Structure 1
Amino acid sequence: MSRNETLYPPGSTVPAVDRRGASENVAARSAAALDAQAMTQMAHWTSGVSPISLALAWTDWALHLASSPGSQARLARRAVEQGMRWTQDCTKAVLPVATPQPSAPADNPFDEMLDDDSRFSAPEWHNWPWRALATANIVNEKWWQEASSLRGMQDHSRHQMHFYGRQLLDLASPSNWLWSNPQALQAAWRSGGQTLVRGMGMALDEWRQQKGLPALRSNDAKLGVGRGLAMTEGEVVLRNNLIELIQYRPSTPEVQAEPVLIIPSCIMKYYILDLSPHNSMVRWLVAQGHTVHIVSWRNPDENDALLGMDDYVRDGVLAALDFIHSRDHEAVHLVGYCLGGTFAAIAAAALAGGDAVLSTHDAQNPESPLASLSLLAAEVDYTEPGDMGVLIDEAQVRLLEDLMASKGFLTGKQMAASFQFLNSRDLVWSNQTKRWLLGEQDLPNDLMLWNADVTRLPALMHSQYLRGCYLNNDLAEGRYLYEGHPISLRDIRTPVLAVGTVKDHVARWRSVYKVHRLVSGEVSFALTNGGHNAGIVSEPGRPRRHYHWLHSPAHQTWRTPDEWLAQAPRFEGSWWPAWSQWLGEQGSGRKVAARTPLHDPALGAAPGQYVRVCYGD
């Protein structure tokens, strides 16, 4: 049996071997292989975006528009109205400005549009003719937001049409092009063209790096893993084929009795939670008197194509939990971030339902090995995935499966490109404008370097994750199978803390909030400002940070997310201190002598070996 056949879970489109004649089975497999090869080529041509998915969305929109004369008239009227207002604003901008009278109208809405858009907030964009170009782009986006949402359309099609239309408008933004960007033109004039020379050099270096060639410009960045990043002292105390488990050295003479185990996402390197010393979550937790462990996932290669979700839960979460629990004989605070939170929730449900047991399990005294469960920007219900849902449907998953089957994994660059695509205005176009047109190069910082340190995903695990969670929502619906047995989040009675972030494009906070109605125990929910990373890595002392926090006991009646937000008090500063206090409240309150990890030369010290594995793809 080929690897292509074994990669696809039930429900996929690859024909299985059946009771037909051998020649028919051979023909079916040959046809499937040819289809997969065609889809792989298509993925290369379309940068991993399924044209089938996009065509289905466009057809849904076009047919509904064609059969809706009232909507056509409404959209045409809106286009004329907005066009007239835009023309009036352009006329006022180009004609000499008269002295304003006391009875003059209030603020111009077009001024507000420019000020609210980070691309056009600079004063230069308020002048003719740049103002006309910028406001036209904004007005077109507002019109498309209405035009892409027609009555009767599938929600997924509506979301796709709005998203891809906005991407095209972002691409056409006048801020992206030299001759229509007044900031770039002025900078070039004042510098005698040096900004453009520097920008061309940066663009050339980026192209060379994409092709695997060395950059022509020197890079003085001194930051790296073990050099300013991932600097918290610790030891690797466990290594298997999938993870290294790091235990950090204590900095207090006594620690909380219950240790902490952090499961980061395998989509990213673990040191997002151990960046520079000033914003390292693990270093801060250690300073608060916690025994902290973190999982460092191995960066997979082509030999790991058949690693599945069960492997990541069993050999990742449960193996680390078993090691800590059997050594310390204490309940453990289990913490999961992003996809690591999904793994942690699966492990907690399997333990609670008896579908997974630790080596210390005692049938006569079946106490939970978990003191608490913290889910940081982690989804367990995927019915409202936000912008991530744009990139996930049956056609898109099939294309990704065929693409992964040819290599055995999804490359780190492909994964990073997906996240950039979701927020291309800020992560792609604005950055390119700053570098290429203005000649400004950001000094490498810890978050930028971590973000560039991408990881792969095994083909089978990624396919199971997309189908089981995003497409079928099996985990929330009680259909998820762990090692062949269905598990239910309702079995989780351990206290839960869920953290959402306001600007998260990956795990929308209203989606994260749904854990309230899925588990049986009490839930505390925190909503912090910032995005998927900055909202979580939000150390005390960082300016302009705030969060909402509200506890819901197990018998709490349902509150919608908006009701919760209206009732949850707001606190200034980082949410970390409140979390540390919550961890202490869920434990026994006992203090024990600090646990110092022993150095094993065969395993080595933190940050370990797995985090250093990088690939050029």
Structure 2
Amino acid sequence: VLKRPLLICPPWINKFYILDLNPQKSFIRWAVEQGHTVFVISWINPDERHGTKSWEAYIREGLQYGLDTIEKATGEKDVNAVGYCVGGTLLAAALALMAQEGDHRIKSATFFTTQVDFTYAGDLKVFVDEEQVAAVEKAMNEKGYLDGTKMATAFNMLRSGDLIWPYVVNNYMRGKDPLPFDLLYWNADSTRMGAANHSFYLRNCYLENRLSQGMMELAGRVVSLKDVTIPVYNLAAKEDHIAPALSVFLGSKYFGGEVDYVMAGSGHIAGVVNPPAAQKYHYWTGGKPGGDFDQWIAEATNHPGSWWPHWQRWVEAKDNTRVPARKPGKHMKTLGDAPGTYVKVRV
């Protein structure tokens, strides 16, 4: 296996198993088959106990705790990291903070449909202005969290033609039961948002765009993405309405090191969860991001199929040192079988 373990930081807006949905679609299973020792953060579904947990807490008790756990389990300090959507935004901010603090355990970062600059932040911006954020904060502060059903409804409203009306017509009007579909099950498996965490995200990212501007404050420090000098693989999805490909592209210029920008076909989920065996979609590679987005697309090379093997080659090019396969849980107490208990908490 690869000497460097892989730490995945998924979004807490949904549950992590989108990357392990079934044996055929599982990015995690595929990564294990390529020789990665995979660790994934399963965020707790927050309740009133977690209302004051800040972004710093998510970094300390999530990402850095994950790095500590990896070292205990494998003996390795050097790690490759992946962040998906808001999990990627947290990872980027954490890397900027950790660079200032001298924590250099993450040696490469991969971002799946992640925004660090929110100038062109997609359809969710229709729900984010001062008045709406203040209303959300008022509702959250009463209980310490935002109900998961409210987040799920907001996302579904953005694609109501796909996610609401077909089910109204078929189920309510025609009396037909919906067909079982793993992706829709995951989509409906919503999570609550902790008050302090969600408020920080909405204000610092969507409203004030502080991360890319070098103005975000974490742990008493003002952090800058220019301090993130490790190699970055920045994956966008062509039809993404949550983290638009243009937004991800423009965000690339704020990092301080080498950034490889790759654009996958399809959208926010299917563009990421695209196993090579399915032989679906395309992906595009090209020059360094930093110029005009339309020009980058015009000059980019189109590749059929999944971007996963391209990413694997990128990771191996950074460090392909191999060690004997590890036995998961050998040095750690096992709390239970995957997927764990947190994902089984229903809203």
Change in CA separation of 1:601 and 1:495 when aligned onto 2, cut-off 3 Å: closer
Aligned to 2:20: 274
* Pairing partner for 1:314 from 44, 60, 63: 60
Quick one: which amino acid aligns to residue 256 of structure 1? L
Change in CA separation of 1:460 and 1:417 when aligned onto 2, cut-off 3 Å: same
Whole-angstrom CA distance in 1 between matches of 2:252 and 2:342: 35
- Aligned pairs, how many? 345
Q: Deviations over 1:473-527 (max 9, x none)?
A: 1101101111111110001111101111122121111101123210111111111
Aligned to 1:302: 48
SS at match of 1:477: coil
Change in CA separation of 1:325 and 1:488 when aligned onto 2, cut-off 3 Å: farther
Residue 608 of structure 1: CA displacement?
A: 1.4
* Pairing partner for 2:327 from 573, 596, 603: 596
Residue 269 of structure 1: CA displacement?
A: 0.6
SS at match of 1:345: helix
RMSD: 1.6
Aligned to 1:293: 39
Alignment of 1:507-518 (within 5 A): 507-518=243-254
Asked if 1:530 is matched to 2:266, the reply is yes
Asked if 1:416 is matched to 2:162, the reply is no
Asked if 1:329 is matched to 2:76, the reply is yes
* Pairing partner for 2:280 from 544, 551, 562: 544
Aligned to 1:610: 342
Calculate the TM-score normalised by the size of structure 1.
0.54
Q: Deviations over 1:55-92 (max 9, x none)?
A: xxxxxxxxxxxxxxxxxxxxxxxxxxxxxxxxxxxxxx
Would the aligned equivalents of 2:5 and 2:76 in 1 still touch at CA under 8 Å?
no
Alignment of 1:61-140 (within 5 A): none
Whole-angstrom CA distance in 2 between matches of 1:259 and 1:576: 17
Aligned to 1:401: 137
Higher RCO by CA contacts (8 Å cutoff, separation 6 or greater): 2
Alignment of 1:425-436 (within 5 A): 425-436=161-172
Residue 407 of structure 1: CA displacement?
A: 1.5
Whole-angstrom CA distance in 1 between matches of 2:52 and 2:11: 19
Would the aligned equivalents of 1:547 and 1:575 in 2 still touch at CA under 8 Å?
yes
Change in CA separation of 1:595 and 1:602 when aligned onto 2, cut-off 3 Å: closer
Asked if 1:348 is matched to 2:84, the reply is no
* Pairing partner for 2:235 from 469, 494, 499: 499
Would the aligned equivalents of 2:2 and 2:322 in 1 still touch at CA under 8 Å?
yes
Asked if 1:256 is matched to 2:9, the reply is no
Quick one: which amino acid aligns to residue 603 of structure 1? L
SS at match of 1:536: coil
Residue 605 of structure 1: CA displacement?
A: 2.7
Whole-angstrom CA distance in 2 between matches of 1:445 and 1:546: 24
Quick one: which amino acid aligns to residue 593 of structure 1? P
Aligned to 2:301: 569
SS at match of 2:178: coil
Residue 453 of structure 1: CA displacement?
A: 1.1
Whole-angstrom CA distance in 1 between matches of 2:253 and 2:189: 36
Which has more helix, going by share of residues?
1
Aligned to 1:463: 199
Identity %: 40
Residue 419 of structure 1: CA displacement?
A: 0.3
Aligned to 1:236: none
Residue 435 of structure 1: CA displacement?
A: 3.0
Would the aligned equivalents of 1:257 and 1:330 in 2 still touch at CA under 8 Å?
no
Q: Deviations over 1:299-352 (max 9, x none)?
A: 111121111111111111111123324643342111000110011101111122
Instruction: Give unmatched runs, 5+ long, in structure 2.
Output: none
Largest Rg, 1 or 2: 1
Instruction: Give unmatched runs, 5+ long, in structure 1.
Output: 1-254, 358-367
Quick one: which amino acid aligns to residue 111 of structure 2? L
Whole-angstrom CA distance in 2 between matches of 1:425 and 1:293: 36
